[in-house]
Amino acid sequence: MTLVKNLAQSNGSYGDDYDRTSRNIKDLNEQHCKEIKALNDKMDKIIFSNQKTKTLKKSNNNTSVKKNQSHEQERPRTSSRSFFNRLLLNSISAEMEEVLFDDILGEIFTRLSSSSSSLPSFESVPLVSKRWLRLYRASKTSMSLQFSPHDGSVMTLLPSILRNHPSLSSLNLCFPVTIRTKATNPIRSYDESLKAQTSFNDELISIISSCCFNLKNFSFLINPISSSSLLPLATSLSLTSLSIKLWKPQNSDFTWIALFSSLKELSIDVQSTSSPASGSNPNPEVVELGLESVSLSGIQSDDTRVTWLWRSCRKLKKLKLKHCGSVGESEFFGLCLKNVEEIELITCRSVVDVVLLKVTEICESLKSLLIHDGGSKDGLVHFMNNAARCYDTLERLDLRLPMDLNDDHLVSLAENFKSLSSIRLTSSTFVSGLSLKMLALSFSSSLEELSLLSCNAIERERGLLATLGQDLRKLRKLDLTRNEWLFDKEVVSMLASCNGLVELGLRDCKHLTGEVLVALNKQGLKLKTLDIVGCRLMQSDDVEAFVMNNNSSRWLKKLVVEENQITEDILNLAASKLIETVVFPSLVW
């Protein structure tokens, strides 16, 4: 970012760009220096190639042998001067020089966008010339826009915005979360409002399809949309990812998806409406879709046409269901599961049994399973004891089932599964320390990530964390968020055994003090990420001592704190050690 700011402060000439940049090169962080060095090397090759071309031309024009030989021996100097100065010292045509500088400046913008923690914006990069502004826009490949469908200026301004960003491959359009509908908006009937919304959607889609020729990822979450409004996108673009809200009547037929032949990822949030359902083909032809990831939200028992989607998805690798009360015909639902690697079920209590049963019978490649806010005790037990195809493949398990998860499930998990590397348990009210110990013992050689969020057992049973730490010697990530009655002694005793930790989350552990940070210093853990937001007994002095200590901070890359835990001096100290500091507003306790 320093480089771009230096460029922005110049008078618009490339020579001045170099002067300002070289004077402030010491302010660049290590990563940016490496990037600029790589760009310098690239420019060396271009310059050398250009010089060889000029040499050959002189030779063909019967230039003296002596002059020709001396010219061929010229090489770009290997001094520390940047490519800006080297180009100015070489006799390259003005046109060639302009092209090279445009290319390199555009590449700088692109690299900063991908490597910087704070993305460049028109506020942080106040470009001072039209050329730089054009290059900056041309380097942007991703954009997110928020606006209200009641804003009449959208249709006027959006085309010029999109045309000024010709390289966009990802576009996200969403409704501002802070928007408030004013009473001045004309009062319309439901049908009139729906008609106006459809007209707005159609015009917006038409603009995007005619301006974003390189678009691959598109998210349209402003309004629910009809499938017919999507047709311009299917005919003019080759989308690989699509995320939309869809009116429920349109969900009666999913066959429109086949029009997007390049689509790999699809996310649909089904919205209810009082309008009658549109007619659809009762027996649509099954096609082979290229979809690898499908996310559906709001599918209910009367949405029977979703069965066509399952019959057409044979390459599916990731499936996410949220707020769903049905999956259509269960015998066809299983057709898409054979090669699925990731499954997420969020607030889908009525379909969990069906999904787990089909996974047990069919799935051969499951690596990740997430079930939140609604499960089934019997369905979980059946899966744990009978999913033999998944015993050797399942690597990540994430469960948030406060009323459904108990010791029986964890015991079955420990007895049957072999390769778990990540376990996340949230609000495990009915889980005891005994089953957690069995898990630690069974997965001692494979488990690298353990999250016990709001876990009553580790708050009730003293010494439990120490026992877990002794078995989990390969643990790299530990998250103990929202365990309010966890005390220093328990955490310190576990850290003494977990020497390989690189990430530690202690958010909202309200009774932990600075003694934990002192222990981290003494043990010399190679932590890269530490989260202590909500640890109200950890003061700024404790944080400063932790950051100053070479044993703890030499490896640290990210520190997450509250405002009252940090000072300006600590921020400067962290910045000097290349530690990213994320600061949250302090809460009133």
Instruction: Tell me the pLDDT of the chain averaged across its residues.
Output: 81
pLDDT at 154: 86
Residue 559 has a pLDDT of: 96
Kindly state the average pLDDT of the residues 505-523: 95
Q: Give yes or no for a contact between 351 and 345, defined as CB atoms under 8 angstroms apart.
A: yes
What is the reported pLDDT for 10?
40
Judged by DSSP in three states, 451 sits in strand
Does residue 538 contact residue 563 with C-beta atoms inside 8 Å?
no
Helix axes 540-548, 515-523, angle to 10 degrees: 10
Comparing 473 with 76, which gets the higher pLDDT?
A: 473
Give yes or no for residue 484 having a pLDDT over 90.
yes
Beta-bridge partners for 513: 537
What is the spatial distance between Cα 504 and Cα 451, in angstroms, rounded to a whole number? 10
Q: Are 490 and 515 in contact (CB under 8 A)?
A: no
**Which of the four pLDDT bands, split at 50, 70 and 90, describes residue 501?**
very high
- pLDDT tens digits along 369-392: 999 998 888 999 999 999 999 999
Write the CA distances from 475 to 446, 451, 469, 472, integer angstroms.
Answer: 9, 11, 8, 6
Per-residue pLDDT band for 252 (boundaries 50, 70, 90) equals: low
Tell me the two tokens of residue 315. Answer: 């390459």
Can you point out the beta strands (E) in 313-443? Answer: 318-322, 342-346, 368-372, 396-400, 422-426
Work out the average pLDDT over 274-300: 80
What does DSSP say about strands 422-426 and 449-453: parallel, antiparallel, or unpaired?
Answer: parallel
d(CA 263, CA 247): 20
Tens digit of each residue's pLDDT (9 = 90 or more) over 530-588: 999 999 999 999 999 999 987 777 899 999 999 999 999 999 999 999 999 999 998 75
Rounded Cα gap, residues 536 and 552, in angstroms: 21
DSSP letter, residue 369 = E
DSSP label of 24: T
* Reported confidence tier of residue 178, pLDDT bands at 50, 70, 90: low
pLDDT at 9: 40
- Alpha-carbon distances of 368 from 5, 345, 390, 400, 502, rounded to whole Å: 43, 11, 10, 14, 22
Q: Cα separation of 434 and 468, whole Å?
A: 11
Global confidence as pTM? 0.79
CA atoms of 334 and 312, how far apart (whole Å): 12
The answer to whether residue 479 scores a pLDDT higher than 50 is yes
Under 8 Å between Cβ of 156 and 41: no
Q: Are strands 558-562 and 529-531 parallel, antiparallel or unpaired?
A: parallel
Tally the C-alpha atoms within 13 A of residue 173's C-alpha that lie toward its C-beta. Answer: 20
